[in-house]
Amino acid sequence: MHNINVSILLVLLLFTIVACENDPTQDSLNIQEMSWEDISDQAKGSTVNFMMWQGDADINDYINNYVAPTLKEKYNIRLNIIGGQGPEIVQLVMGEKQAGVKKGQADIVWINGETFFQLRKIEGLWGPFVQKLPNAQYIDFDNSFINTDFQQPVNNMEAPWGINQFAIIYDSAQISNPPRNLQELENFIKANPGFFTISNDFSGMTLLKSFLAELSGSPTGLDGPFDEEKYQKLSTRLWDYINRNKRYFWKEGTTFPKEHSKMNQMFASGELKISFGFSEGGVESKVRQGLYPKSTRAYAWDNGTIRNANYLGITYNSSNKAAAMEVINFLISPEAQLKKSDPTGMDSNPVLSIDKLDPEWKSKFEASPKRIYGAQLSDLANKAIQEPAPEYMIRLYEDFRKKVIEK
């Protein structure tokens, strides 16, 4: 009994010790007023922690074997990669906020709309900072796919890093006329049962957003702030559509893959005939790796598929904001973006506006090798739709699990 008392006492003690809040660092104010030269000077010789999604070998290769060594060489900055995306980033920052951690684990985070939304909600981002980056001048901030992230104005709180469009993919050697709307998809899977599924992750939810937009009757049907009534109406029809047809899905719709990378493998091995993905379907690299057949094609839904940009943000408690800015400035430099767009490498569309570049870089971009197998971003341009408000995504996640997977 005595020991139990002692332990309760010690636990309470521990709680009181850790309960004293610390204030986050105040040095961030100075950086806002510093010149870029001073920021650059301060950045030299430090380490920057970059939290990013590490699920793709080409992206990891670009970061580990191009970005990190170049940063070391040019700016003497050591780049340290931390694995993590979306919820993991939010949870980390939220936990640090709760615990009053002054020096955050991550300095730079790779995010898009729904994470941006959540980080803003908990005031987890530092900024505005993008206007201070010299290379920001090459970005077209009048482009609504860049200045608006999931219906939220970006306001220099995050720097765009890449832009891409979601696409559906199929093997043209096997299918001559792939489905382009929900009705055709229904007919297709009834004729080819077992070859379609939706991954229970970011990619899958993005497909569902396109479906939702189609059900709304127009490409702009989901624009504007989140509308509960509209969501209820459209999502009821969507779940009804999926539940009605899921017996024609992969594994009779009894289960859904957790990660999109699994869908890629299944498409490669012929388990799926229709797949989808960001980066215009990601066809180029998969064909080059020999995973997908050369006859693989990508296309957009008739009502359109989501086009979005992805961004880099700086955490509110980054202990190294100057160096984080230097790194982000490098990542949006013409040099780094050109390398990033290499079809044999990361194969990611440059976020820079080519017209704004110096003639030298302009010609380099124009002369750079193009994709051979996959669609270009411009091919899908007239079928591009905006990301709807982040709440749609969060609700789709929850309801897809509750109303489809667990049914």
Partner 1 sequence: MKFNWKPYILTLIVLLILFPFVYMVLLSLASEWRFPDLLPSYFGLRNWLKIIGSETGLLHSFLISVSISLSVATVSTLSGFFISRSVSYHPKKRVLTLLTYFPYILAPVVFAACLSYFFLRMGLFGNATGVIVAQFMITFPYALIFFSSFWNQRTKNLEDLVATLGGNQLQTFFKMLFPIAKGMLLICFFQTFLISWFEYGLTSIIGVGKVQTLTIKVFLFIKEANFYYGALSCCLLIFPPVVLLYLNKRYVFNKLV
Partner 2 sequence: MRNKFSHIGLVFFVLIGVIPFAAAFIYALLYSLGIVGVLNSGFTLQHWQTVLASSEVFKSFGYSALVAAISVVISVSFALWLALKFRKEFDQKILSFIIYLPLAIPGVVAAFFTFQLFSRAGFFSRLAYQLGWINEVSQFPDLVNDALATGIIITFITIVMPFFVLLFLNVYKNERVGNLSELAYSLGASSKQVLWRVSLPVILRKTWTLIALYFIFLLGAYEIPLLLGQESPQMLSVLIIREIKQFDLSKISEGYAIAIIYTIVVSVAVSALFSRKNKTLNEI
Tokens standing for residue 267 = 């498409």
The torsion angle over the Cα atoms of residues 81, 83, 84 and 85, rounded to 10 degrees, is 70
Residue whose entry in the numeric block shows the structure tokens 């669609």: 375
The answer to whether the CB of 314 falls within 8 A of the CB of 133 is no
Nearer to partner 2, 48 or 92 (CB): 92
User: What is the distance of C-alpha 379 from the center of its chain?
Assistant: 21
57 interface partner picked from partner 2, partner 1, none, CB below 5 to 8 A per type: partner 1
Please give the DSSP secondary-structure letter assigned to residue 254.
S
- Count of residues that bind partner 2 according to CB under 8 A: 41
From the list 323, 344, 354, the residue with the least C-alpha distance to 62 is 344
Q: At what angle do helices 260-268 and 202-216 cross, to 10 degrees?
A: 90
Q: Give 43-71 as a 3 state SS string.
A: HCCCEEEEEECCCCHHHHHHHHHHHHHHH
Considering only 116, 256, 276, 392, the residue that binds partner 2 (CB under 8 A) is: 256
Residues 14-53 within binding reach of partner 1 (CB under 8 A) = 14, 18, 49, 51
83 interface partner picked from partner 1, partner 2, none, CB below 5 to 8 A per type: partner 1
Residue whose entry in the numeric block shows the structure tokens 């459209």: 234
Nearer to partner 2, 10 or 173 (CB): 10
User: Using the rule CB under 8 A, is 73 a contact of partner 1?
Assistant: no
Closest distance to partner 1 from the beta carbon of 266 (Å): 10
372 interface partner picked from partner 2, partner 1, none, CB below 5 to 8 A per type: none
User: Using the rule CB under 8 A, is 257 a contact of partner 2?
Assistant: yes
258 interface partner picked from partner 2, partner 1, none, CB below 5 to 8 A per type: partner 2
User: Using the rule CB under 8 A, is 191 a contact of partner 2?
Assistant: no
Closest distance to partner 1 from the beta carbon of 55 (Å): 5
Residues 121-140 within binding reach of partner 2 (CB under 8 A) = 121-122
Q: Residue 47: beta bridge partners?
A: 78
Considering only 87, 95, 134, 224, the residue that binds partner 1 (CB under 8 A) is: 95
Binding track, positions 240-259, relative to partner 1; x by CB under 8 A: -------------------x
Considering only 13, 44, 83, 123, the residue that binds partner 1 (CB under 8 A) is: 83
Q: What is the Cα–Cα distance from 59 to 45, expressed in whole angstroms?
A: 25
Considering only 42, 75, 96, 277, the residue that binds partner 1 (CB under 8 A) is: 96
Q: What angle do CA 92, 93, 97 make, to 5 degrees?
A: 120
- Count of residues that bind partner 1 according to CB under 8 A: 35
User: Using the rule CB under 8 A, is 14 a contact of partner 2?
Assistant: yes
Nearer to partner 2, 6 or 57 (CB): 6
Neighbour-count burial for 229-254, b at 16+ CB within 10 Å, e otherwise: ebbeebbeebbebbeebbebbbeebe
Residues 115-144 within binding reach of partner 1 (CB under 8 A) = none
Closest distance to partner 1 from the beta carbon of 288 (Å): 12
The torsion angle over the Cα atoms of residues 64, 67, 68 and 73, rounded to 10 degrees, is 140
User: Using the rule CB under 8 A, is 57 a contact of partner 2?
Assistant: no
Residues 296-315 within binding reach of partner 1 (CB under 8 A) = none
Q: At what angle do helices 321-331 and 36-43 cross, to 10 degrees?
A: 100
Coil, strand or helix: which one is 255? Answer: coil
User: Using the rule CB under 8 A, is 100 a contact of partner 1?
Assistant: yes
From the list 100, 152, 164, 204, the residue with the least C-alpha distance to 313 is 152
- Helix residue ranges, H only, 54-201: 57-62, 68-75, 86-99, 113-121, 144-147, 182-191
Residues 67-86 within binding reach of partner 2 (CB under 8 A) = 86
The answer to whether the CB of 310 falls within 8 A of the CB of 162 is yes
CB-CB neighbours of 120 under 10 Å? 17
Stretch that binds partner 1, among 90-98, 181-189, 239-247, 354-362 (CB under 8 A): 90-98
Nearer to partner 1, 49 or 349 (CB): 49
Q: Which residues bind partner 1 (CB under 8 A)?
A: 3, 14, 18, 49, 51, 54-57, 60, 64-65, 80, 82-84, 88, 92, 95-96, 98-101, 105, 259, 261-262, 264-265, 268-270, 290-291
Chain residues binding partner 2 by CB under 8 A are: 3, 6-8, 10-11, 14-15, 86-88, 90-91, 94, 97-98, 114, 118, 121-122, 194-195, 200, 251, 254-258, 265-266, 269-271, 393-394, 397-398, 401, 405-406
